[in-house]
Structure 1
């Protein structure tokens, strides 16, 4: 129902994007387009690529419909680039791998803005919050209460982008409203393990930095729920629902392998030959 309700708004946005792209192609002499999950960012006379990790869009009972619709939109592009490994040892699982839909799909390997740094561990636990309200606030309040009894150093990043960065110290916790990309790279590297949502970008970052993690998927987000269960089943990271989570569950992290970074050889010259 939500998908159908939002459809007119999606179509309006796509129409607006197409109009903008037509103007850019004409005035800027564009020779190629790479669309980061924007449905309307393509042009019939310019080679266009769509980047997504979701060839299959999970939506509960209507997964077949949302996936078919998404694939139909992607088919309007010359190629689809998936930021994941090709083959069974991958991060996105069924989301990014559809057996009968690979004739113009190319796998880039996981993408991350971060690098693994050789620095000393400073925090036992990094809490990294993100996502839509009000669920972000619900989880923030629950974790701030639970972690008062955690025996270890905690770096808590609320994921609230505000005009100024704020820092406070509460017991064993150092709390920030947000961090810049550079600061976050250091923070993850100097933390023993991470508690976060199970969004795909976060998973790619943790894989690059080879971190252990505990996942609490955003309620109602089928993709995050699927990814958290996938990591659990593969022995990489434990997870819990937002309502069920309690402090004792964090000890389960020791029984999981954590993420391991795998090299992925990509021929960029061949990849960009489309343009």
Structure 2
């Protein structure tokens, strides 16, 4: 029997959506499915590097741009709403073409609202059943839930009960559509390696804020007296390394190289995106989280984990090297992860 082909389509909005699809793609292969990748930009480039033998297709770009000033963050996103709606329509057309010409039997869409098809099982992956957006949270959450309801099922990479990672974002009092909690997922494995670096700085996310944080951290760490690995999160054709004092600076690392770098670091400094939080929990590393300014989701996660004493954290414009003293009072984030196969999760594609 030919393998069933499953379209896996993560959103290109930072790299978190793509990286958390990596263990799902591996699981599909182990369960004898044939994954087909679809995305755009850096997310597509990353998955092509991770899975060079898999078929990959390009989807239309959302190409969301962010304001440098937090005060204009929501306004700038709102002004781009017509473009987002247009891209969703284009995604639906492109997906229809894939199903008709590429023999697709199922769809796993990580936050791409238009990647679905009424005639085959279509899964929407998100940790945001509620979309936190300040005063407009109720409105943005209702829109999200209405769009999710168009899919066959919604998978939340978290636990349904306490303790959990996503808190109020990933949990509803009443559900009007099928929700399956698949547990936290991470592309990484915890390894027992000698510590080479005091800090691993792992940058990610959209511009201009990624670049702004890079400048802040380079300034604060340029005179470091202990080894630091600085991963800029800029995907280019080749990985490049630069040494500045005790800093080992890479434009990007992926796969085993990144996994080993993080495992051989004492503490990780990164954004507080949900995928990063799941990775930190899997690696059981001390962490300092710097949320992207204006992103209520990241601010909520950082504050939630900071108040529980799991991580150090501060606003981007407040960061100084001295802030890392807060790490003395933290414990690492630990969670049990899925160890069984995805057989039950993927049974939807088998018609079981």
TM normalised by structure 2 equals 0.74
The residue that corresponds to 1:117 in the other structure is: 191
Query: Is contact 2:231-2:251 (8 Å) kept?
Result: yes
Deviations 1:101-148 (A, max 9, x none): 275111111111111112111101111111122222221111111113
For residues 150 and 233 of structure 1, do their structure 2 counterparts lie closer, same or farther at Cα, with a shift above 3 Å needed? same
For residues 217 and 26 of structure 1, do their structure 2 counterparts lie closer, same or farther at Cα, with a shift above 3 Å needed? same
Query: Is contact 2:271-2:298 (8 Å) kept?
Result: yes
1:80-229 aligned at under 5 Å gives the runs 80-101=154-175, 104-229=178-303
1:10-89 aligned at under 5 Å gives the runs 10-89=84-163
For residues 88 and 21 of structure 1, do their structure 2 counterparts lie closer, same or farther at Cα, with a shift above 3 Å needed? same
Query: Is contact 1:150-1:247 (8 Å) kept?
Result: no
Please state how far the C-alpha of 1:238 moved relative to its aligned partner: 1.3
Deviations 1:53-110 (A, max 9, x none): 1111111211111110000000011110011122121111111111212751111111
Once the two structures are overlaid, the 10-residue window that deviates more, 144-153 or 36-45, is 144-153
Partners of 1:263 and 1:21 lie apart in 2 by 32
Partners of 1:235 and 1:91 lie apart in 2 by 14
Partners of 1:91 and 1:129 lie apart in 2 by 21
Unaligned runs of 5+ in 1: none
Aligned alpha-carbon RMSD (Å): 1.7
Partners of 1:28 and 1:177 lie apart in 2 by 35
Please state how far the C-alpha of 1:43 moved relative to its aligned partner: 1.2
Please state how far the C-alpha of 1:272 moved relative to its aligned partner: 2.2
Aligned residue pairs total 275
Once the two structures are overlaid, the 10-residue window that deviates more, 257-266 or 133-142, is 257-266
Query: Is contact 2:184-2:337 (8 Å) kept?
Result: no
Query: Is contact 1:217-1:224 (8 Å) kept?
Result: yes
Partners of 1:177 and 1:270 lie apart in 2 by 38
TM normalised by structure 1 equals 0.94
Partners of 1:76 and 1:266 lie apart in 2 by 29
Once the two structures are overlaid, the 10-residue window that deviates more, 262-271 or 2-11, is 262-271
1:251 aligns with 2:308: no
Please state how far the C-alpha of 1:152 moved relative to its aligned partner: 2.3
Which 4+ stretches in 1 moved above 4 angstroms? none
Partners of 1:31 and 1:165 lie apart in 2 by 36
Unaligned runs of 5+ in 2: 1-74
Partners of 2:104 and 2:322 lie apart in 1 by 55
Q: Secondary structure at the match of 2:312?
A: coil
